[in-house]
Structure 1
Amino acid sequence: MWRNYLTVAVRALAKNRVYAGINIVGLALGLAACMLILLYVRYETSYDSWMKGADRAFQVQTDYKATPQGGEEMHLQMSGIVVGKTLQKDYPDQVEKLVWVRGFSPIVIQDGQAGEIEDLRMVDGNLFEILDVPFVRGSGATALPDTNSIALSESEAKRRFGTLDVVGKTLTIVDNMGNVDYRVTGVFRDWPKNSSFSANAVARFDLGVQFADRMGQVTGWDNQQGWNFVRLRSPEDAKLIHQRMPAFEKRNIPDEVTGDQRRNPGEYQDYRLTNIRNVHLGDAQDAAVRPGNDRLTVITFAIVALLILGMACVNFTNLATARASQRAREVALRKVLGASRPQLIVQFLGESVLVTAIAMLLALGLVELSLPAFSAFLDAQLELHYFGAGGVALPAIGLVLLVGIAAGLYPALFLARFEPAKILKANKSAADAHGSGILRNALVIGQFAVSIALIICTAVIYAQTVYAQTADAGYRRDGLLQVGNLGYRGVDNRDGQVAEQLRRIPGIEAVARSQIGVDPGNNSMSRVFLPGSTTQTVDIGDYAVEQDFFKAMGMKLLAGRLFSEAQGKDDATTPPPSNPAYQAAVQALIQRGLNVVITQEASRRLGFKSPQDAVGQRVRTEAGNDNGLIELTVIGVVADARFRSVRDPLQPIIYTMRRNGFGDILVRFSGDPAKVREQVETVWKRTIPQVPFGARFAEDIVRQQYDQETARGQLFAAFALLAVVIGCLGLFGLAAFTAERRTKEIGIRKVLGAKTRDIVRLLVWQFSRPVLIANLIAWPVAWWLMRDWLNGFDQRIALTPLPFITAGALALLIAINTVGWHAFRVARTSPVQALRYE
């Protein structure tokens, strides 16, 4: 019996090559897309699962609540040094191991040559006792046994020494303590890409020695400079600590007093333990370690993949029911010869599984061919294994059975219900009289609803990404070079010399050092009292800049004036906090007061009706390090500048002018960008040769800010194209069979005077109606999805009808072109041949 079923199935496929080809290609495309996306989803959800003991490794994260004072909601992977130390002290029975990690990019001297190690992590303990990474030389247990020891990754060891046998060798790191020798104690395997943490080197240092000159950063609860990692004795201990966290915060976090106001940081910030496996898809994202992802995005792609696979199944169902008339007599004869309905259902389900199996083989070939490019596009380590852990052989077999049964069940039930007497008695197949095609139309509507929704999503994502990259940011992106690495110890005070020499280069229009630049990695906030109030404050960004900062950034002055070195009250320069003269300088500054320039958003939050009203007004803010309050006089208001992504809220800013303590040099230029960068690099290497040169153009930085949105839009575009192709394959097959079934009807219409264009219009309209109805379903769904997505941006495009109308018109045009050829070919057939049909 099974042999007979197989023979019949193969003959049926061979006899109807177009039908078989459409089904197999459509299913193969759907299965390939589904498998690629499921590989991606499995990869995204597998982060850090490879690590031994990952269930007990946690990261202490900080959550900031939105406050009435203007503080924005933020989720940070970082937490203060004191947070981890206090957790370990309060919960010794739960916290087995604690290590604080600092991201650092110091100068590294090897054989007298200065360089740098990308992703160097400084730790105050043995990090490998928490994050268990495999070692190729030494072991995690013996790595970093004491201060001034360092472990290198395989790649870094080979890059620096040309071999993995580096244990015992020495590297010199230049930090705030000077030149310190570190002894290599081990070599670990390169951190896999599916890790939320990365490091090319991990060096152990003495926390007390490193922060001896700034102990306030060790004890400050609101000071995040690194990451706290803990190993708990049991994964369940995290729940216990979370339950007691409010009491922990109330017990340990001291009140902050500013003027007459007392506030506890615990009121607007919370701490939580996040398992290392949940960091990548968590709320807190930190591109400084390794860019994470959005859990909703991963789920969305999984749903889209399943929808595309469902569209392929719909094709199978539609085409199988459409050609039921061709197999009606076969069913009737089998029933006459004794076949039962269950046997017929099994036969047709077997044919469906056979088609799906052939499609799966083709899909696996497509996956193999496209996986390298897909992995490179996503910057992921996607791998396809058939057997073993993570193998796809069993899931593929399961998918074949599931898809085969899902796609073939209704056609099997539909075909098996035919009554032999009616079919064998009739001059034409009784199958033609059954049903009105409502189900087929509904499935076609569903297919094109998915396609149209994906086209709309693609258009909106693309438009928002372009808008984010090109919208007025409040400064000029073109002709702006941003030079970093001013935080190195080797820079000392020579960054001022670099800036002065750059101003002499032809083509450079303005140069300014600054604590803030495009896509800043820092976030400095101060509490500012509202005018005339001793209790009400707002949180406003506070950054120091040089006099020509606004000219270099190309920012617009709205009211008042900008900074001038000729005005003594404009200058906020003080010695570093480690300098004995610091306290006296701060007190002198408090006595004198300070002129500041604020942004339009800062003016609004301080309660001024217009930029002009803000000029000349005075406010007070904390002077830092509990030195009291300083009076600020607003001398100018500039346009808001969006230095960060449009996803982040626009930050109100108070600018102060000073001559030290900067992180970037901003260079405004005209002419050839490559030549200007080369000239800037020459000046840098001549002045500060021991410090690596790092500079990027503002346009490149902004483009990189939206890489994730760009990639997401491209993936949606690929899915939309694939959905349209699969939908058109089904429409093509339906049009072919429908035209064939209506050959005699068309012949009669032509005899009665119908013209070719009338016939074409009749057939095209039949398949256009489902597409028009699909718009009514796709538009509200796409609007709801894109509205929520756009609401994640602080600055966004308006959701206009244009992408909806365009997507609907495009889908309709594609559908018309798909069926138009069949309609035209059948409409031109001679009536004589049509009436001799059957």
Structure 2
Amino acid sequence: MWRNYVTVGVRALVKNKTYAFINVFGLAIGLAACLMLLIYVRYETSYDQWVPNAENSYQLQLDNTNPQTGEVTQLQMTSYTSGQHFRASFPQVGNSVYVWSNGATVIRNGEALSVDDALLVDNRFFDVLQFPLVEGDPNQALAQAGSVVLTQREAQRLFGSARAMGQTLTVMWDGRPVDYRVTGIARDLPHNSHVEFSMLLRVDPATAFTTTPQMLTSWGWQSGWFYFNVRPGTDIAAMQAQIPAWKRRNIPDDQFGNRTVNQGDTQDYRIVNIRDVHLGGAKVGAMTPVNDHRTIATFTIIAFLILGMACVNFTNLATARAGQRAREVALRKVLGATRRQLVTQFLAESILIAAIAMLLALALVELLLPALAHFLDADLAMRYFGADGMLLPILLLVILVGAAGGVYPAFYLSRFQPARVLKANKSSADATGSGALRNILVVAQFAVSIGLIICTTVVYAQTVYARSVDPGYHRDGIIQITGIGRRQFVDRADSVIDAIRRVPGVVSVARSTIGVSTGSTSQSGVEVAGHPDPVLIGTYQVDPAFFRTMGIDLVAGRLFDPNREADNLDQPYVATPEAQRALVARGQNIVVNELAARRLGFNNPADAVGHVVRASTVEDQYGLVPSRIIGVVKDSRFRTIRLPVEPIMFAWDERSTTTLLVRHDGSDPRGTRERIERVWKQMLSDMTFQAEFSEERNAALYAADEARAKVFAGFAVLAVVVAALGLFGLAAFTAERRTKEIGIRKVLGARTPNIVRLLAWQFSKPVVIANLIAWPIAWWLMRGWLNTFDTRIDLGPLPFLFAGLLALAIAMGTIAGHAFKVARANPIHALRYE
């Protein structure tokens, strides 16, 4: 019997090739899009699922609330001391480790090599995060200070084909070479991990940070990540509920001027399983790019919408051509076929079409998935067998799609009455029913297509805006060199900078702790006379050339003057208690941006000049630093437009800077960079040259958004193609059904334009209705998405009009061929059988 069903199904497809092509190709596009998006969604939700004991491994995260604005910044990082107090206060905590991110410089065969993703850890790292080792014992690899674990890729880079295990590696530490012994080789981490490292350096915190001891004691110094294991069966919700009481017991009060403040009032801690970090919402201080549940949900919905549109095509075309199979159904019933057998027959045909479409879809996936993976920088692969194999989902999709597309046509076709169908002069092309369901489904298809076009247009426009909006400084023409905070540069800074200034093509050179798309933040509380609470202001160190090099305009007052000794701190005030006491005694001159001036209570920037505020830029026990505002500069956005502009105060302190900013004249950017690199290597052979163009750093800020926008656009195009295919098929069958009507109209005097307009309006009306449905939904979705940006485009009518007119043009273009063909046909051929 099943063989008969398949035979009849194949014959039905061969008999009507247009119908077969539209159904198979449309379903193949829908299935391919669905499979690729589901593979991506599964990849995004698989982060750290593979880590042993992941269900009991957690990260402590911090939410900082700005008391002035109420803005909440979610950080993956916490302070070292918060981790230590957390471990001591909760008996549920087993092993724990605090992890610092620190770029390392390795001296190998006399050459300085940079390791960007080096982590500083203690001996408990592999007890908490059980990443596999290919060589070495995870229990002993980091047991001793001076041990280092490399990944397979890093071991290959540093040692080539030689065996790395047991070798000695020279690492520059605080300006001096320190030998580390390779005690383990870790397996290269897959892409679907929120942790990223190529080198693990075992350190003892008490001795490693002697120059910055407050890093180990300050609750406000968010310098790394705290991970811990809990005992099986631990109630995490109960632990989370105890956090407020834990804060009150452990976070000490600070004396801020004449007031007592507690950092716990603006800090909230969250316990996050490592499998949830990637999609957890905390974006600041992440090791790897993060995503969010909203994006994943959006892609999932799009996947099933496109697949649903393909199933709609199947249903529409099957019911549209129902009249052509009416006599077949009637004859089968006359010969004894039951309705159940007919339903089975048509469902079998539907599943057969879905199976053929799936084979074509799999071929498309194999061809397109590598490009999609490269585009999204994701490790996407189609695997058919194994724990993550797709064979079972593929079989389920074939059955579900076949059933979803065929169940209504099957019941619809099987209900035909033989007496009505077989009566004399009954045309096999005569329509049955009003076609209301087909119209509803066409409206739904085009509503989805129009909505996707609108969303794609808005996302693209916002991405272009993000990359072109004025950041408050001259964003192009800068070479940014990082890592100058290391001792070997600080000791030779003046001579190196003088040599770089003389390089042809260099316009100016500056030092800073902030630059183009910097990731780290530094904030201080500032006391203002008459203001009840301290104001949080970003605090960064620069030199006098910073504002000229960055192209930041002065609004009021003056900038730092090399001829005024009082402007220059000229001391690493965070290093020693003596330096901090001296800074409190002498005070500092500062430059603030416009937003900082407003936060400090000055509506007019000029009114801020000359005023003295008191800043907590040293340890609390030494007091607040008197800070005289000497100038106000224009607001600058140094980070993504998703984040608010930061209120900033700048202090002149060259020795504390971490970034070198080089403005070039634009005549030969690559050549200028190469000449700077040669000077660097001549003078700093023990430091790597880590330089990027500002254009590249700005592009990287929005690379993920842009890639997702392009993928979104690609699948929007697929949705339009699927909708157009369905409309093409419906137009063909409608034109065929209305041949007699059109013949009569032409005999009675109707002209070709009248006939074309008649048919065009029939299919334009659903598109117009689809616009009315899609516009408010797309507006609501895009308004919510745009609100995630601090600055954004206006959501005007242009994207909606563009999408509506484009959909209408596609619909008209799709049916135009059929309309003209039928309108120009000789009416004799339509009426001859009468």
TM-score category of the 2 structures, normalised to the smaller one: over 0.9
Question: Is the deviation greater in 356-365 or in 615-624?
Answer: 615-624
What's the CA shift for 1:807?
0.7
Contact 1:102 1:226 (8 Å CA) reproduced: yes
Q: What does residue 17 of structure 1 align with?
A: 17
The question of 1:89 aligning with 2:85 is answered no
Q: What does residue 485 of structure 1 align with?
A: 483
Residue identity matched to 1:88: R
Superimposed CA distance per residue, residues 609-635 of structure 1 (whole angstroms, 9 cap, x where no aligned partner): 222222233322224112212332222
CA gap of 1:21–1:583, structure 2 versus 1, over 3 A, is closer
Contact 2:324 2:428 (8 Å CA) reproduced: no
What's the CA shift for 1:822?
0.8
Contact 1:531 1:619 (8 Å CA) reproduced: yes
Secondary structure of the 2:78 match is: coil
What's the CA shift for 1:440?
0.6
Q: What does residue 419 of structure 1 align with?
A: 417
RMSD: 1.7
What's the CA shift for 1:293?
1.0
Q: What does residue 535 of structure 2 align with?
A: 538
The question of 1:718 aligning with 2:718 is answered no
Secondary structure of the 1:425 match is: coil
Secondary structure of the 2:422 match is: helix
The question of 1:634 aligning with 2:629 is answered yes
| Aligned equivalents of 1:439, 1:394: Cα separation in 2 | 32
Residue identity matched to 2:534: T
What's the CA shift for 1:430?
8.2
Contact 1:154 1:164 (8 Å CA) reproduced: no
Question: Is the deviation greater in 513-522 or in 802-811?
Answer: 513-522
The question of 1:615 aligning with 2:612 is answered no
Contact 2:66 2:536 (8 Å CA) reproduced: no
What's the CA shift for 1:188?
1.4
| Aligned equivalents of 1:338, 1:583: Cα separation in 2 | 100
Residue identity matched to 2:488: G
CA gap of 1:3–1:34, structure 2 versus 1, over 3 A, is same
Q: What does residue 605 of structure 1 align with?
A: 599
Superimposed CA distance per residue, residues 572-621 of structure 1 (whole angstroms, 9 cap, x where no aligned partner): 3324433575145314323xxx3222111112212212222222333222
CA gap of 1:624–1:344, structure 2 versus 1, over 3 A, is same
Q: What does residue 550 of structure 2 align with?
A: 553
Alignment of 1:470-619 (within 5 A): 470-533=468-531, 535-579=532-576, 581-590=578-587, 594-619=588-613
Q: What does residue 800 of structure 1 align with?
A: 796
What's the CA shift for 1:287?
6.5
Question: Is the deviation greater in 136-145 or in 596-605?
Answer: 136-145
The question of 1:624 aligning with 2:618 is answered yes
Contact 1:99 1:229 (8 Å CA) reproduced: yes
CA gap of 1:71–1:660, structure 2 versus 1, over 3 A, is farther
Residue identity matched to 2:696: D
The question of 1:817 aligning with 2:817 is answered no
| Aligned equivalents of 1:500, 1:164: Cα separation in 2 | 41
Superimposed CA distance per residue, residues 322-368 of structure 1 (whole angstroms, 9 cap, x where no aligned partner): 00000001111111112222221111111111111111111111111
CA gap of 1:698–1:113, structure 2 versus 1, over 3 A, is closer
The question of 1:155 aligning with 2:153 is answered yes
TM-score, normalising length: structure 1: 0.97
| Aligned equivalents of 2:535, 2:195: Cα separation in 1 | 35
Alignment of 1:173-252 (within 5 A): 173-176=171-174, 178-234=176-232, 236-252=234-250
Residue identity matched to 2:694: A
The question of 1:77 aligning with 2:79 is answered no
Contact 1:70 1:540 (8 Å CA) reproduced: no
Q: What does residue 690 of structure 2 align with?
A: 694
Superimposed CA distance per residue, residues 362-385 of structure 1 (whole angstroms, 9 cap, x where no aligned partner): 111111111211111111111212
Residue identity matched to 2:24: I
What's the CA shift for 1:288?
5.3
Question: Is the deviation greater in 743-752 or in 382-391?
Answer: 382-391
Contact 2:327 2:428 (8 Å CA) reproduced: no
Question: Is the deviation greater in 317-326 or in 204-213?
Answer: 204-213
Residue identity matched to 1:204: R
Q: What does residue 772 of structure 1 align with?
A: 768
Residue identity matched to 1:437: G
Contact 2:154 2:199 (8 Å CA) reproduced: yes
Q: Which runs of 5+ in 1 are unaligned?
A: none
| Aligned equivalents of 1:541, 1:507: Cα separation in 2 | 33
Q: What does residue 462 of structure 1 align with?
A: 460
Q: What does residue 408 of structure 2 align with?
A: 410
Contact 2:583 2:625 (8 Å CA) reproduced: no
| Aligned equivalents of 2:584, 2:24: Cα separation in 1 | 80
Contact 1:572 1:589 (8 Å CA) reproduced: no
| Aligned equivalents of 1:748, 1:648: Cα separation in 2 | 66
- Give me the identity figure in percent: 52
Residue identity matched to 1:87: F
Alignment of 1:724-763 (within 5 A): 724-763=720-759
What's the CA shift for 1:40?
0.7
Q: Which runs of 5+ in 2 are unaligned?
A: none
Secondary structure of the 2:196 match is: coil
| Aligned equivalents of 2:111, 2:513: Cα separation in 1 | 29
Alignment of 1:99-138 (within 5 A): 99-138=97-136
Contact 1:328 1:431 (8 Å CA) reproduced: no
Number of equivalenced pairs: 832
Superimposed CA distance per residue, residues 702-747 of structure 1 (whole angstroms, 9 cap, x where no aligned partner): 1110011101110111011000100010011001111011111111
Secondary structure of the 1:654 match is: strand
| Aligned equivalents of 1:633, 1:99: Cα separation in 2 | 42
Q: What does residue 58 of structure 2 align with?
A: 58
Secondary structure of the 1:391 match is: coil
Contact 1:64 1:75 (8 Å CA) reproduced: yes
What's the CA shift for 1:642?
0.3
| Aligned equivalents of 2:551, 2:501: Cα separation in 1 | 16
| Aligned equivalents of 1:747, 1:454: Cα separation in 2 | 39
